[in-house]
């Protein structure tokens, strides 16, 4: 089953004043899922060790009101993050959210969708006549909880009515049936996070197989949505060339000819904090976290990360540009980092 089924749910009392919060409370109770109410501070998950708490939090949903009005910027994929959901139930061992979310990587669902979308419209109005693009998956995979929230459906319909706005999100999940018949006006781009067979099998526990994602991508393209693929992290291993070529061939086989496709390519990188968390939560991980063959680079948020050496980066970029250019004449490589 692709839809996330939480084992425990924390609901902020204020969230019950919103239709989504009230509905979720009833649905969780009907399903026999354990629900606890809280006032202001989200409870921590129990656990004798950091690992216990982390894994427990991954199975916990928090339903709450988003208090902050400001949106964070979101380079290079969009102008701003659109905060519908935070956290992800998947167990991708390399994930950068291991840096951002720390000990309690809850799956957080915000119930005040109307207020969030009103704030998005304010950003659009400020930047007119330029188009303002919002990213819906900067710190989450919203499709994983869409069957509970309906937040993506509401956002897609809303963005379709705005004159100078665009919306985009990425997912590893194939639960897209509820999105296929929406009036989107071509203003929402759906991207699927894909990777080589080795990376998916080795490092992406708790997520759907690659084939499921590509079938969903085909459905999305046939529904007229702009389509994209996010390949990341691109990991260097002995068979990387043949494995990533197979990935691109399989992707080509699923997507109808003539459909414009965008690609975003992100090579593997890690922070010191992420390395510590990954090795503690996944003690047998094979994620390449050594500093050999890496260089230290500061990112846009001020902290440093270890990335591949420049020669290897150039080699990888040349490979992907050539392969994508050959297979996807209608494709566009947005960036390689």
Report the C-alpha gap between 293 and 224 in whole angstroms: 42
State the pTM of this model.
Answer: 0.93
Taking 70 as the threshold, does the pLDDT of residue 258 lie above it?
A: yes
Burial class (CB in 10 A: 0-12, 13-18, 19+), 280: middle
Q: Percent of the chain at pLDDT above 90?
A: 84
Place of tokens 């949903």: 61
DSSP 132: E
Question: Contact, 274 vs 98, CB < 8 A?
Answer: yes
pLDDT band at residue 300, thresholds of 50, 70 and 90? low
The pLDDT score that the predictor gives to residue 112 is 98
Query: What number is the average pLDDT over the span 6-23?
Result: 97
Pick the closest to residue 166 from 192, 191, 193, 141 (CA basis): 191
Taking 50 as the threshold, does the pLDDT of residue 16 lie above it?
A: yes
Q: Would you say residue 149 lies in a domain?
A: yes
The average confidence (pLDDT) of the chain is: 93
Q: Percent of the chain at pLDDT above 70?
A: 97
CATH of the domain at 153: 3.80.30.30
Taking 90 as the threshold, does the pLDDT of residue 213 lie above it?
A: yes
Name the residue range of residue 192's domain.
8-336
Q: Would you say residue 213 lies in a domain?
A: yes
The pLDDT score that the predictor gives to residue 35 is 96
The pLDDT score that the predictor gives to residue 113 is 97
Handedness of CA 1, 90, 228, 134 (dihedral sign): positive
Q: Would you say residue 2 lies in a domain?
A: no
Burial class (CB in 10 A: 0-12, 13-18, 19+), 200: buried
Query: What number is the average pLDDT over the span 80-96?
Result: 93
The pLDDT score that the predictor gives to residue 15 is 98
pLDDT band at residue 301, thresholds of 50, 70 and 90? low
pLDDT band at residue 1, thresholds of 50, 70 and 90? very low
Taking 90 as the threshold, does the pLDDT of residue 99 lie above it?
A: no
Burial class (CB in 10 A: 0-12, 13-18, 19+), 240: middle
Dump pLDDT digits (tens) for 103-121. Answer: 789 999 999 999 999 999 9
Q: Would you say residue 181 lies in a domain?
A: yes
Pick the closest to residue 295 from 305, 280, 285, 283 (CA basis): 305
Torsion of CA 76, 81, 85, 88, to 10 degrees: 20
Q: Would you say residue 1 lies in a domain?
A: no
Pick the closest to residue 159 from 125, 188, 198 (CA basis): 188
The tokens describing 119, both together, are 């704030």
CA 128 from chain centre, in angstroms, equals: 27
Q: Would you say residue 3 lies in a domain?
A: no
Taking 80 as the threshold, does the pLDDT of residue 96 lie above it?
A: no
Q: What total number of domains does the chain contain?
A: 1
The tokens describing 336, both together, are 């390689």
């Amino acid at each position: 089953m692709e839809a996330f089924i939480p084992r425990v749910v924390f609901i902020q009392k204020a969230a019950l004043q919103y239709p989504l919060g009230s509905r979720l409370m009833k649905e969780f109770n009907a399903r026999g899922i354990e629900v606890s109410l809280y006032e202001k501070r989200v409870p921590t998950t129990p656990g004798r060790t950091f690992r216990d708490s982390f894994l427990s939090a991954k199975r916990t949903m928090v339903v709450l009101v988003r208090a902050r009005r400001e949106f964070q910027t979101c380079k290079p994929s969009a102008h701003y993050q659109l905060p519908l959901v935070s956290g992800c139930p998947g167990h991708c061992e390399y994930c950068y959210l291991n840096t951002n979310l720390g000990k309690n990587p809850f799956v957080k669902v915000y119930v005040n969708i109307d207020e969030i979308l009103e704030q998005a419209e304010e950003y659009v109005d400020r930047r007119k006549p330029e188009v303002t693009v919002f990213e819906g998956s900067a710190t989450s995979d919203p499709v994983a909880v869409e069957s509970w929230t309906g937040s993506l459906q509401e956002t897609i319909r809303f963005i379709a009515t705005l004159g100078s706005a665009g919306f985009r999100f990425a997912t590893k999940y194939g639960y897209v049936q509820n999105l296929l018949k929406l009036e989107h006006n071509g203003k929402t781009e759906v991207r699927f996070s894909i990777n080589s067979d080795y990376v998916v099998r080795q490092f992406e526990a708790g997520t759907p197989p690659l084939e499921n994602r590509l079938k969903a991508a085909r459905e999305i393209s046939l529904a007229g949505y702009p389509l994209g693929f996010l390949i990341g992290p691109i990991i260097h291993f002995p068979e990387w060339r043949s494995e990533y070529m197979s990935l691109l061939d399989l992707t080509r086989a699923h997507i109808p000819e003539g459909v414009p496709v965008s690609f975003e390519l992100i090579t593997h990188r890690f922070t010191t904090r992420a390395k510590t968390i990954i090795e503690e939560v996944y003690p047998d991980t094979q994620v390449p976290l050594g500093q050999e063959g890496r260089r230290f680079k500061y990112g846009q948020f001020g902290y440093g990360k270890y990335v591949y050496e420049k020669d290897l980066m150039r080699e990888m970029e040349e490979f992907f540009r050539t392969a994508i250019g050959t297979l996807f004449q209608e494709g566009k490589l947005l960036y390689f980092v």
